[in-house]
Structure 1
Amino acid sequence: MSIAEIFEFLRAVDTELYYYIKKFGILIYFLLFAVVFTKTAFVVLTFLPGDSLVFASGALAALDKLDIIPLFVLYFIATTLADSNNYFIGRLFGRVPQEKSLLFRFISSDVLTRAKTFIEDYDRVALTFSRFIPLMRTMTPFMSGFTQYPYKKFVRYNVAGALLWTFVWLFSGYALGNIPWVADNLMFTLLLISAVVLIPTIYAYVKQMAKNRKLA
């Protein structure tokens, strides 16, 4: 693939997935893994398709164009490894002395302190459900590493979040993706599913916030 073809693939893979399945055959599984991994593994690549790509994969699996089980395994592994990669990048940046860190030129130490407090106070909610919020899905692993949040705790919530995210989007696509109304209103459908998933997240956040206030 040329550079132009790669950019075109990244731009259209979620909306033109069936075309790429026919073009690449079995290699499409590797390419889907690479896109999902790259999206979260590096903060600057958050613009790559994620939710819509997994949803579309599920829809095509329902039509027997893809195999649902390998998709689930590959997406789960991709998301888990990507978040860990992002975590360790953040951890590396966090060990650089403040006066030498480029990050501190753009983010104040006060903001980083608040981020650390947030992750420590709401770790279970933030690390498990942040993948459903576009910007937080890449920033939360990075900031967890940057603030030196314990990796053993991080990976536990990371695995839970990866399982939940993969299951929700892949099987939502499998069940709903070929309904004409859903196909015609894909963005609204994705937002609606995200909102439904985030309801328990908001509840858990409010509950934890009330608990922290009582302890203060």
Structure 2
Amino acid sequence: MNDWIVYLIEGGGYWGIAFLMVIENVFPPIPSELIMGLGGIAVARGRMEFWPLMLAGTIGSTLGNYCWYLLGRSLGYERLRPFVERFGRWLTCDWDDIERIVAFFRRHGQWVVFAVRFAPFMRTMISLPAGLTRMGHVRFVVFTFAGAAIWNAILAGAGYYLGRNFDDLEKYTTPVAVATVVIVLAGYAWRVVTWKPRR
């Protein structure tokens, strides 16, 4: 996969970056850390400029997240009720929990969308509940764009300052991603074992 990413960046330039970032946010297994990190290395080598790279990457991130947002908005959270009532244990929540989450999201969801942009895996999935709770289009796009811009700047900056070695970027990002997955899975397992329905 790394070779494919390198090929698209080298062949497509800024358009390749934007395309990859759209795909990364629709199919999360493609790592944005490597995409923007390689973009930062290209800047260090004089093959790209920083601000066009940032614009391409952030627009791509926003468009990819907007796909999930539109999917959630077309469904609406009310349609989830039979699913939640049937699989509440595995979701570790019941319908009352969903109602509270929706109420919170409608009041403060824009800040959740912004903050979660810095969390691996969740930065894409958070767009779905934003759509399910019918967050305003403009509000979602503005906060998604802002959070994605900061995250992409960190990744591109890391690629630039780590120098010209692609493997160095993986050395730092991979352990963090693996540790995050382990923590999330352990927390989920604990929730499943200890969860009890309110009713």
TM-score (norm 2): 0.69
5+ long unaligned stretches in structure 2: 177-199
Q: CA deviation at 1:96?
A: 7.2
Per-residue deviation, residues 65-90 of structure 1 (Å, max 9, x unmatched): 33333211111111122222221111
1:186 aligns with 2:180: no
> 2:2 pairs with 7, 12, 20, which one?
12
Structure 1 pair 98–53 and aligned structure 2 pair: CA distance change class (3 A):
closer
Residues 36 and 79 in structure 1, CA contact (< 8 A), matched pair in contact too: yes
1:167 aligns with 2:153: yes
Trace 1:1-216 onto structure 2 (pairs within 5 A): 11-13=1-3, 17=6, 25=11, 27-40=12-25, 42=26, 45-94=27-76, 97-98=79-80, 109-110=95-96, 112-120=98-106, 122-178=108-164, 183-184=167-168, 186-189=170-173
Per-residue deviation, residues 120-146 of structure 1 (Å, max 9, x unmatched): 454344211212212211111111101
Residues 162 and 169 in structure 2, CA contact (< 8 A), matched pair in contact too: no
Separation of aligned partners in 2, 1:73 and 1:83: 15
Residues 33 and 173 in structure 2, CA contact (< 8 A), matched pair in contact too: no
Residues 13 and 53 in structure 1, CA contact (< 8 A), matched pair in contact too: no
Separation of aligned partners in 2, 1:122 and 1:170: 29
Separation of aligned partners in 2, 1:117 and 1:177: 46
Separation of aligned partners in 2, 1:71 and 1:103: 41
Structure 1 pair 103–48 and aligned structure 2 pair: CA distance change class (3 A):
farther
Q: CA deviation at 1:112?
A: 3.6
Q: CA deviation at 1:171?
A: 1.9
Structure 1 pair 183–159 and aligned structure 2 pair: CA distance change class (3 A):
same
Separation of aligned partners in 2, 1:60 and 1:20: 13
% of aligned pairs identical?
Answer: 25
Residues 55 and 177 in structure 1, CA contact (< 8 A), matched pair in contact too: no
Q: CA deviation at 1:39?
A: 1.9
Moved more, 136-145 or 106-115: 106-115
Separation of aligned partners in 2, 1:157 and 1:138: 13
Q: Which has the higher contact order (CA 8 A, sep 6+)?
A: 2
- The count of residues paired between Structure 1 and Structure 2 equals 173
Separation of aligned partners in 1, 2:115 and 2:3: 25
